Amino acid sequence: TRARCPVQVSYGTRDPACPPDVAKAIAEALPEPKRLLAYQNQGHDWHPEMPLHNSEWFLRYLSEGSEPR
């Protein structure tokens, strides 16, 4: 992979567009730091907890001032 920054991958366990096995394979191929989030019984749409999880992830790495690898 050519990813050079922290990456968060999220998926719905009932997502027909990007099935869980595909999301997991993408996350597995990424270098650290990474995070994989599963939203149970969710399809390919927005989940109410996404803003909180996204904010936590962004703030964690923006506040550290992490440089791309």
pLDDT tier at 63, thresholds 50, 70, 90:
confident
Q: Which residues of 44-61 are buried (b: 16+ CB within 10 A; e: fewer)?
A: eeeeeeeeeeeeebeeee
pLDDT tens, residue by residue, 22-50: 999 999 999 999 999 999 999 999 999 99
Q: How many CA atoms lie within 13 A of 62 on its CB side?
A: 6
**For the whole model, what pTM was predicted?**
0.83
DSSP string, the chain: ----S-EEEEEETT-SSS-HHHHHHHHHHSPSSEEEEEETT--SS--TTHHHHHHHHHHHHHHHTPPP-
